[in-house]
Amino acid sequence: MSLRKRMSRLLHELSRKAISRFDRFCARHSKVGDREVFDHRDFPWLPAIEADCRKVRAELDALLPYLAHMQNFHEVLPNHLTEGEGWKTYFLYAFGLKAPANCRRCPETVKLLKRIPGMKTAFFSILGPHKRVPAHRGPFKGVLRLLLAVRIPEPAGKCGIRVGAHTRIWEEGKALVFDDTVRHEVWNHTDGARVMLYVDVMRPMRFPANVVNGALAWLVALSPFIIGNAETYLRWERRFEAIVNADESARRPLIP
């Protein structure tokens, strides 16, 4: 085996061990325990988020006519999970970085997001008809995943998620909080678009673990990978705004 391959394997193994050690650190200091799926009682702000889902839905409905112009997930964050047109995104925040024009179009959604303690990433996750995202796991146990079901097409029971041993069939207006590092998969077996408000929040942790976790999240946000993707996304955002503004201008009635 070449020296380069040996070094690559060594770095991979060291990285794997470091991640495993950090996962145990998060689990040990987590204020909400170490579970696959979390109880609503762990997050007292969650019922108010669900109660405002209709406001989020209204802003989403105004965006859906422009679905074809939205970016696919793999174009924003390159991955091995899915390609093609089946998984669209509309980002509002990414690792704390704001998509300003997108946020201006969704003021009620932004108000809701600001009520979520430790919110880092938020976007509309739009899964197309008969699309499935295969089982996978996230790399960072320092955040928890919140999914709010904004638009669930008929027939009922055909859109769901499996997280570890837990399976959930989606219901509009209902949320799920789970550990993203647990293997999970999602599916949409309908002829319509399924839309989630996808939010990553900092895992509630005891001091000083919360400081360590916050510092790591800050370093991720400043990494060349995130900064580079953010610049690309903002260029797309300007193009998208131009398309929507032109369409709105064309449909605006002339005032005599």
What pLDDT digit, counting tens, does each position of 33-45 carry?
Answer: 999 999 999 999 9
Give the containing element (helix H, strand E) for 92. Answer: strand 87-94
pLDDT in tens, 62-82: 999 999 999 888 777 766 666
- Residue 205 is given by DSSP the state B
Structure-token pair, residue 172: 């509009």
145 forms beta bridges with 178, 200
Query: Which architecture, in CATH terms, is 35-203+214-251?
Result: Sandwich (2.60)
Predicted confidence (pLDDT) at residue 243 exceeds the cutoff of 80: yes
- Output b/e per residue, 154-190; b: 16+ Cβ within 10 A: eeeebbbbebeeeebebebbebbbbbbbbebebbbeb
Q: Tell me which residue of 108, 92, 109, 89 sits closest to 100, measured CA to CA.
A: 92
Which amino acid is it at 122? Answer: A
The structure tokens listed for 79 are: 């991955």
pLDDT value of position 83: 63
Give the tens place of pLDDT for each residue, 182-197: 999 999 999 999 999 9
Of 250 and 226, more confident: 250
DSSP conformation class of 36? S
pLDDT digits (tens, 9 = 90+) for 151-176: 999 998 999 999 999 999 999 999 99
Beta strand residue intervals within 128-227, DSSP E: 131-136, 143-151, 159-163, 166-169, 175-178, 184-188, 194-202
Q: Where are the domains of the chain?
A: 1-30, 35-203+214-251
Mean pLDDT of 227-236: 75
Least confident of 10-14, 24-28, 82-86, 207-211: 10-14
Mean pLDDT of all residues belonging to the chain? 86
pLDDT, greater one: 178 or 140: 178
How much is the pLDDT for 8? Answer: 44
What would the pLDDT profile of 89-147 be if each residue is shown by its tens digit? 999 998 878 899 999 999 999 999 999 999 999 999 999 999 999 999 888 899 999 99
What six digits make up the tokens of 26?
Answer: 């998060």
- Please report, for residues 133, 155, 163, 188, 220, the alpha-carbon distance to residue 171 in angstroms, rounded to integers and kept in the order given: 19, 11, 16, 13, 33
Q: Which two tokens stand for residue 81?
A: 């999970």
Whole-model pTM: value is 0.88
Contact 97, 226 (CB under 8 A): yes
